[in-house]
Chains A and B, each alone.
Chain A
């Protein structure tokens, strides 16, 4: 099941500070979309709205498959329990260093499927966890404590939890921001592979333009709480857009595969 995420004219503000101002956009099913823009433009807030962690003050987020609405987030979440089986989330870094093992952390992804809280997790939950750990080459870490891993490895564990959660939509909020290039590529390759195999809709807030251009199907630039422009990497990454989004003179170049890239540019005088 591939899912479209339709954002329809949503507004959101923290107290009196408006962050999202009538944002509308459709994240296409089975695609990886990178959401880019400078700090404070509303990227993370948009993600929290799609997760239903924050509710928009007006407007609706509709999750739809084959033209039929499955769940929606407006003043409230239409089906709260089901939402966690539709959308999963990888934060920028692990929320705590609780003394829990990698295995326990990843198996937590089965929580939305828990039928009976007295009995706890089932054998099926265990085998699905083992499967994903093997898939991401994390088996040898299984009994290690999360807090004892490097930042890159921790993020991989959180991605594993998302895969165990088996949601058709995955949200990453700067999930690779604090990682070295080796781990960044590792995470993005895994994600891309799973996306193609299962038709996942991946929405990733990113700062690394070149990484975004290399792995995403679509780039979506935000500015001032609205979508400024979007398109395939070659369409959206233009000199003009770079200047508008970041206020920098950054000539966009292309590598031999035709993937655009930029180098840090000069401030506009």
Chain B
């Protein structure tokens, strides 16, 4: 494997980011002339009415939505990096331990109780936290969390929750589209206040992960070796998983289930920069954010004015790309 020079990756990410922002702000169900951005920045030019409209479309709709895409992408991919290190499995994903399935169940319950739309997110968040806590409890023995048990219980709970959701969808019938949104991911509800609510847990979690970047490297070497290097492996794994689950729960509560980001971004970045968590965490976070931003732009421009659910876009483009990487490596999938 050749090491790619860090500055090349930085240049690539910066260019991609700028292009995406420029393209994303000027395109959508209403295509704005790129020059209109100038008009927004120079209040002197342009007509007053259209300026107000531009202002609204860009500042109240597109910009918060794009920043939200960045934040959710960063949450999902950094959470993926950490969960994969803890499970020492490149195929682990924050959704694996029942977080997404239980969030959807929360949304379903909100629907069944006839609560207003605001409560969908709140209930999704609380349910996934409660279920995650329960899964942790169940997989504890003698004060330590068994990672294998966590996985088994997580999968079982996920299946149970999915069964519940499927039944509810079947039962609700025509009205079920409001829940389907949760299953396929949706960023349309982005507002500045939501952005602010999400940015806080993101920053806290990223700092926490970054603080433990060297410990994460050590965890990859296995429990015995990590222990001999002075790490309390059981306690550290528990805390890392708790934080990873928390931000995954936040992302699902605000935007539904968006598949493949937590899997494909860390994996791709690992192929390029290796598994040193200093680089892996940084580039995965940025890469994940930009990936979801690109996916969301595609979701709202491809068939504009109709919007494709973002989870469909990430899986539709993510899965073949993931397949390509896996086949190219031929059995070399490793951490």
Give A residues with C-beta under 8 Å from B: 48, 51-53, 80-81, 83-85, 87-89, 91, 94-101, 104-105, 108-109, 111-112, 114, 117-118, 120-121, 143, 145, 147, 165
Question: Contact at A95–B275, with CB atoms within 8 Å?
Answer: no
Per-residue interface assignment for chain B, residues 180 to 211, with 1 indicating a CB less than 8 Å from any chain A CB and 0 otherwise:
00000000000000000000000000000001
Question: Contact at A89–B228, with CB atoms within 8 Å?
Answer: yes
| A121 vs B231: C-alpha distance when bound (angstroms) | 16
Chain B residues lying within 8 Å of A52, measured Cβ to Cβ, are 227
Question: Contact at A117–B214, with CB atoms within 8 Å?
Answer: yes
A99-B275, A104-B217 are known contacts. Are A109 and B211 too (CB-CB below 8 A)?
no
B335 within 8 A of partner (CB): yes
B334 within 8 A of partner (CB): yes
| A43 vs B171: C-alpha distance when bound (angstroms) | 60
List residues 207-228 of chain B with CB under 8 A from any CB of chain A.
Answer: 211-215, 217-218, 220-225, 227-228
Question: Contact at B228–A53, with CB atoms within 8 Å?
Answer: yes
Chain B residues lying within 8 Å of A108, measured Cβ to Cβ, are 214, 217-218, 221, 229
Question: Contact at A91–B217, with CB atoms within 8 Å?
Answer: no
Chain A residues lying within 8 Å of B218, measured Cβ to Cβ, are 108, 111
- 7 extra interface residue pairs, beta carbon distance < 8 Å, beyond A99-B275, A104-B276, A108-B214: A83-B230, A84-B228, A89-B224, A95-B222, A98-B275, A101-B276, A121-B214
Question: Contact at B221–A117, with CB atoms within 8 Å?
Answer: no
The winner among B88, B223, B225, B275 for most chain A CB atoms within 10 A is: B225
B270 within 8 A of partner (CB): yes
| A2 vs B214: C-alpha distance when bound (angstroms) | 29
Question: Contact at B225–A120, with CB atoms within 8 Å?
Answer: no
Chain A residues lying within 8 Å of B214, measured Cβ to Cβ, are 108, 111, 114, 117, 120-121
Question: Contact at B230–A81, with CB atoms within 8 Å?
Answer: yes
Chain B residues lying within 8 Å of A99, measured Cβ to Cβ, are 1, 270, 274-275, 334-335
B60 within 8 A of partner (CB): no
Within the complex, the shortest CB–CB distance from A72 to chain B, in Å, comes to 16
Question: Contact at B212–A117, with CB atoms within 8 Å?
Answer: yes
Return the contact of A91 from the options B211, B225, B276 (Cβ within 8 A): B225
| A52 vs B276: C-alpha distance when bound (angstroms) | 27
Question: Contact at A98–B224, with CB atoms within 8 Å?
Answer: no
Within the complex, the shortest CB–CB distance from B221 to chain A, in Å, comes to 5
B232 within 8 A of partner (CB): yes
Chain B residues lying within 8 Å of A111, measured Cβ to Cβ, are 214-215, 218, 229-231
Question: Contact at B334–A147, with CB atoms within 8 Å?
Answer: yes
Chain A residues lying within 8 Å of B211, measured Cβ to Cβ, are 117-118
Chain A residues lying within 8 Å of B278, measured Cβ to Cβ, are 120
List residues 102-121 of chain B with CB under 8 A from any CB of chain A.
Answer: none
| A208 vs B274: C-alpha distance when bound (angstroms) | 36
The winner among B1, B3, B221, B222 for most chain A CB atoms within 10 A is: B221
| A101 vs B222: C-alpha distance when bound (angstroms) | 16
A104-B217, A111-B230, A112-B230 are known contacts. Are A95 and B212 too (CB-CB below 8 A)?
no
| A110 vs B11: C-alpha distance when bound (angstroms) | 32
Question: Contact at A165–B221, with CB atoms within 8 Å?
Answer: no
Chain A residues lying within 8 Å of B274, measured Cβ to Cβ, are 99-101, 145
| A114 vs B231: C-alpha distance when bound (angstroms) | 12
A-B contact pairs, 11 of them (CB 8 A): A51-B228, A53-B227, A53-B228, A95-B222, A96-B221, A98-B221, A99-B1, A100-B220, A109-B229, A118-B211, A120-B278
A99-B274, A145-B274 are known contacts. Are A112 and B229 too (CB-CB below 8 A)?
yes
Chain B residues lying within 8 Å of A147, measured Cβ to Cβ, are 334
Chain A residues lying within 8 Å of B224, measured Cβ to Cβ, are 48, 51, 53, 89, 91, 95
| A88 vs B224: C-alpha distance when bound (angstroms) | 11
Question: Contact at B228–A87, with CB atoms within 8 Å?
Answer: yes
| A94 vs B334: C-alpha distance when bound (angstroms) | 14
A48-B224, A114-B214 are known contacts. Are A98 and B334 too (CB-CB below 8 A)?
yes
Chain B residue at minimal CB-CB distance from A83: B230
| A147 vs B1: C-alpha distance when bound (angstroms) | 11
Chain A residues lying within 8 Å of B223, measured Cβ to Cβ, are 53
Question: Contact at B275–A100, with CB atoms within 8 Å?
Answer: yes
| A143 vs B2: C-alpha distance when bound (angstroms) | 11
The winner among A85, A96, A99 for most chain B CB atoms within 10 A is: A99
